[in-house]
């Protein structure tokens, strides 16, 4: 195999289920480009993740995989892709199958994740082939698998770049046309569809019960837009939207947010200090674990919650009010830390290699400072 040492720096596998992997990966890339201008990165993804990279105009290999991708099929496609596009470094964001595929070609690897699979999970063995794990959350939430012990660096959450922050709340509400005294409830269902995790009747009926003279429900419904709009009917104070690329503006303009317990949305709301309520169907135990730990969030089992109870939780969240934001996370400290580690690794793998300790001295002071602020 010819190693394209002067061509591709990183072949970046990003899990395609939902947008929650691609969005932070783009944030990391932006910081990496600041540290290493001209760095050459090729993404490999599928389903919703591939659409995010394509919309951003990034170089992309579309893997022919479904959203719920089988491990073996992914490993075979990853191996073909790695052989076709050799790079200095293979990075995998929670795409475990890419790690053994890279090692077949004797390529260095870095694994990005905010969780670890259980030790009994058959896929956990793939972590043995990660040279380094960049953990994008705080330490102590998960037991380190034996396969990666001693190779994990805890760097804090990596979120998208926030254009609107808590101090921009007034501006955001004016831009969106919200009245000063209007109570705004934001529904952010994330990846689970209404077919898989129905919440429409529950949320609409709970909102109807909310006693406010001026109120508005904003529902970012995505592919469920027609279905949700049909059930919302003629309610003048319910606005159903497909997508809004300025999601942080909607968040900071809202008084309370409802979610289906998806990790990225819940973490962003907690960082911004927006009180939230997670309606879970128990379909993702990792997301449920985090939803139970987020500040200002109330975790509920959707099947066991009725409209009256949900209205009570919304009222409680409104009385609680806005929480304290997380300045370090808002400033992108996690992305800076991850990018610093990748830049140092690339420097060590350059044609004229620099020892990793020296490379880290070049690129990681800012990253180390960012990680320290997060811990």
Tens digit of pLDDT for each residue in 171-188? Answer: 999 999 999 999 999 999
Lowest mean pLDDT among 166-175, 288-297, 317-326, 351-360: 351-360
CATH 3.40.50.2000 boundaries in the chain: 10-161+332-374, 166-326
Lowest mean pLDDT among 157-161, 303-307, 365-369: 365-369
Band of residue 2 on the pLDDT scale cut at 50, 70, 90: very low
Q: What is the pLDDT of residues 135-173, one digit of tens each?
A: 999 998 898 999 999 999 999 999 989 999 999 999 999
How far CA 188 is from CA of 3, 185, 194, 228, in Å, comes to 44, 10, 12, 13
Partners of residue 110 on adjacent β-strands: 91, 132
Dist CA 167 CA 330 (whole Å): 12
CB 341 within 8 A of CB 132: yes
Q: What is the pLDDT of residues 238-252, one digit of tens each?
A: 999 988 778 999 999
User: Quick check: 107 pLDDT over 50?
Assistant: yes
User: How high is the mean pLDDT of the chain?
Assistant: 92
Kindly report the CATH number that applies to the domain delimited by 166-326: 3.40.50.2000
Q: Which CATH number fits domain 10-161+332-374: 3.40.50.970, 3.40.50.2000, 3.30.470.30, 3.50.50.60?
A: 3.40.50.2000
Secondary structure of residue 181 in the 3-state scheme: coil
Phi, psi of 4 (to 5 degrees): -80, 65
Q: What is the pLDDT of residue 357?
A: 67
Place of tokens 């993740």: 49
Dist CA 14 CA 43 (whole Å): 7
Q: What is the pLDDT of residue 74?
A: 97
Q: What is the pLDDT of residues 240-297, one digit of tens each?
A: 998 877 899 999 999 999 999 999 999 999 999 999 999 999 999 999 999 999 999 9
Q: Is 49 left (phi over 0), alpha (psi -120 to 50) or beta?
A: alpha
Residues in the chain: 375
How far CA 318 is from CA of 29, 172, 208, 254, 353, in Å, comes to 37, 19, 16, 10, 56
Secondary structure of residue 359 in the 3-state scheme: helix
Q: What is the pLDDT of residues 34-55, one digit of tens each?
A: 999 999 999 999 999 999 999 9
pTM of the model: 0.87
């Amino acid at each position: 195999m010819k190693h394209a040492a002067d061509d591709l720096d990183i072949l970046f596998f990003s899990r395609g289920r939902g947008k929650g992997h691609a969005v932070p990966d783009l944030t990391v890339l932006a910081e990496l480009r600041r540290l290493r201008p001209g760095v050459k990165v090729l993404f490999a993804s599928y389903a919703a993740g591939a659409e995010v990279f394509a919309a951003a105009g990034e170089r992309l290999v579309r893997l022919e995989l479904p959203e719920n991708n089988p491990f073996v099929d992914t490993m075979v496609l990853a191996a073909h892709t790695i052989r076709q596009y050799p790079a200095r470094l293979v990075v995998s964001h929670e795409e475990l199958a890419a790690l053994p595929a890279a090692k077949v070609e004797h390529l260095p690897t870095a694994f990005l994740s905010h969780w670890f699979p259980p030790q009994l999970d058959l896929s956990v063995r793939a972590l043995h082939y990660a040279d380094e794990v960049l953990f994008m959350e705080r330490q102590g939430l998960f037991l380190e698998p034996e396969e990666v012990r001693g190779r994990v660096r805890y760097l804090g959450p990596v979120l998208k770049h926030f254009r609107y922050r808590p101090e921009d709340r007034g501006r955001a509400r004016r831009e969106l046309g919200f009245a000063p005294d209007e109570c705004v409830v934001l529904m952010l269902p994330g990846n689970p569809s209404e077919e898989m995790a129905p919440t429409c009747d529950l949320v609409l009926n709970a909102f109807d019960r909310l006693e406010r003279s001026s109120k508005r429900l904003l529902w970012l419904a995505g592919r469920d837009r027609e279905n949700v709009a049909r059930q919302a009917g003629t309610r003048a104070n319910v606005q159903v939207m497909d997508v809004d690329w300025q999601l942080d503006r909607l968040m900071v303009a809202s008084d309370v947010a409802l979610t289906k317990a998806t990790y990225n949305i819940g973490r962003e709301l907690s960082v911004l200090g927006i009180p939230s309520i997670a309606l879970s169907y128990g379909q993702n135990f990792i997301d449920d674990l985090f939803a139970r730990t987020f500040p200002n969030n109330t975790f509920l089992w959707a099947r066991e919650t009725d409209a009256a109870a949900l209205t009570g939780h919304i009222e409680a969240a409104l009385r609680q009010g806005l929480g304290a934001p997380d300045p370090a996370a808002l400033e992108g400290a996690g992305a800076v830390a991850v990018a610093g580690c990748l830049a140092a690794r690339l420097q060590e793998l350059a044609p004229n290699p620099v020892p990793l300790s020296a490379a880290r001295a070049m690129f990681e002071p800012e990253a180390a400072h960012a990680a320290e602020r997060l811990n």
